[in-house]
Structure 1
Amino acid sequence: MLRVMLVDDEPPARRGLKRLLAEHGDFCIVAEAATLAEAVKAHAATRPDVVFLDVELGDGKGFEMLAGADTRPDVVFVTAYSRYAVRAFDVAAADFLVKPVDPERLALALQRLRERRAAMPLDRLDGSGAIPAERERPLLNLPGMRLTVPFKMVLSLSAEGDFTRIALSDGREQLICRLLGQFETDLPRPPFHRLSRSIIVNLDHVHRVEWTDGGRAQMFLGRSKQAVPLGRTAARRLRQTGVSP
């Protein structure tokens, strides 16, 4: 059973969401709030697993509730303003729903939440089922699959326009709506090293490097020996890190 808190300054919107959630028996509403102040107090008191959070509240923005929280619930933003979507995923929202909420779209969000909680290691949860915020700090939060991935699983991050593709040691890849530079300050150095404007690599996962004519290189990462071609600048910076040929 996942414990849910609803935060919305419009009573009809809360009633509508409660009616839709009532059709999913494994979600239990434990608290409601109409303002930011009420939300902060209710969150501290109930420590819910999931928060359905409106963005524009009468006394502030829903994002502010997350800033001072000592636990990090899964957050599904529910708002009439699609312009907040990018910011929502920047704070690792589990999902983003646009009002009026479509029942099928809500069902999909709930299924994603179930899968996320099922995949989460038990030692990442506190007694309430919430994730302690201080224990998330050494981890990289990835929107999309709604997984929280340890840094040690990340092979590389590469820029693709306004997106970043993250390659993981288990063979998966995540394409995240976030610029590569926004990840750089969050990553520990070492082992992460930015080789060029378009790639950051985890040096702990460099299996071997083949240096080629013209100052270029072919880098092989992880157990699968994923091949990553490097231009002159990236190859030079990789050599400067002391990685053996």
Structure 2
Amino acid sequence: MRVIVVDDEDLARGLVREFLAAHADIEIVAECANGFEAVKAITECDPDLVFLDIQMPKLNGFEVVELAGRRARYIFVTAYDQYALKAFEVHAVDYLLKPYSQKRFDEALAHARTSLGGAPDPVAAVVGEALARNKPLDRILIRDGAKVHVIGVEKIDYIEAQDDYVQIHAEGKGYLKNQRLAELESALDAGAFVRVHRSYILNIGCISRIEQGKDSHSAILKDGTRLPVSRSGLQKVKALIG
């Protein structure tokens, strides 16, 4: 089994190495001290399993999973129990709460072996309900080759649908992300972002005015950008800004 160990603390990585040493079939293919290193290593090394800390500089463990993908299995390792539900939402095979024993570690590794063998995810049935309780996004991650852009949602002017992608417009720049517009809409704060058209989500704070044409409406942004507004979108805007 090919394994990557990710933690910003040397001692924490050392403990995982020590516990893994008891398993002869394990090969540690990379160790990482932050989220950016982790995304690169997971992409390049194609591990079977990742032991992943949650609270780290630059990118947290959940953002690593978003950027690196879910081909690998993940065991989250953290000192904070409040992240347990979210860990299972991203289909983690286990959740190790520091400090943990060799016995508990071995149990988690056994769960990973079962998962790699194709066993069904025991928490899949609760994922939808759990996601509904998530807080709105406060930043969006966009992978651009070897680079990762981290964009605070308050900097976003509008988002445009482009087939299976979205174009995120922020501070005069455009960023392409592989995500459906409807999926992103459900994750954003409904009090700040509104779907004004089937192809556009708009940051309410960026609106300068609404113009009425002969048969349609347009939102004029503070930078002069003009976006179409559907009838239902107009009602949503009116409800938010009065």
- TM-score, normalising length from structure 2? 0.50
Aligned residues of 2:52 and 2:75 also touching (Cα < 8 A): yes
**Cα distance, 1:119 vs structure 2:** 3.2
**Cα distance, 1:101 vs structure 2:** 2.2
Ranges in structure 1 where 5+ consecutive residues have no aligned partner: 121-140, 149-165, 167-175, 183-245
**Cα distance, 1:181 vs structure 2:** 8.1
**Total equivalences in the alignment:** 133
Matched with 1:46 is: 45
% identical aligned pairs: 40
Matches within 5 A, 1:114-125: 114-119=113-118
| Aligned partner letter, 1:90 | E
Matches within 5 A, 1:199-238: none
1:6 partner SS: strand
**Cα distance, 1:109 vs structure 2:** 0.9
Matched with 1:109 is: 108
| Aligned partner letter, 1:73 | A
**Cα distance, 1:35 vs structure 2:** 0.8
1:77 partner SS: strand
**Cα distance, 1:49 vs structure 2:** 0.5
CA distance in 1 between counterparts of 2:48 and 2:33 reads 19
2:30 partner SS: strand
Please say if 1:23 is aligned against 2:2.
Answer: no
**Cα distance, 1:71 vs structure 2:** 4.9
Aligned residues of 1:7 and 1:32 also touching (Cα < 8 A): yes
Aligned residues of 2:3 and 2:27 also touching (Cα < 8 A): yes
Matched with 1:77 is: 76
Matched with 1:142 is: 121
Moved more, 108-117 or 83-92: 108-117
> Structure 1, residues 127-148: CA drift from partner, whole Å, max 9, x if none?
xxxxxxxxxxxxxx8344xxx8
CA distance in 2 between counterparts of 1:181 and 1:11 reads 33
CA distance in 2 between counterparts of 1:60 and 1:68 reads 10
Ranges in structure 2 where 5+ consecutive residues have no aligned partner: 133-242
CA distance in 2 between counterparts of 1:180 and 1:50 reads 24
**Cα distance, 1:180 vs structure 2:** 7.8
Aligned residues of 1:66 and 1:72 also touching (Cα < 8 A): no
Matched with 2:55 is: 56
| Aligned Cα root-mean-square deviation (Å) | 2.3
Matched with 2:94 is: 95
CA distance in 2 between counterparts of 1:181 and 1:63 reads 13
CA distance in 2 between counterparts of 1:58 and 1:67 reads 16
CA distance in 1 between counterparts of 2:83 and 2:127 reads 13
Aligned residues of 1:94 and 1:143 also touching (Cα < 8 A): no
**Cα distance, 1:14 vs structure 2:** 0.3
CA distance in 2 between counterparts of 1:29 and 1:44 reads 15
CA distance in 1 between counterparts of 2:104 and 2:69 reads 30
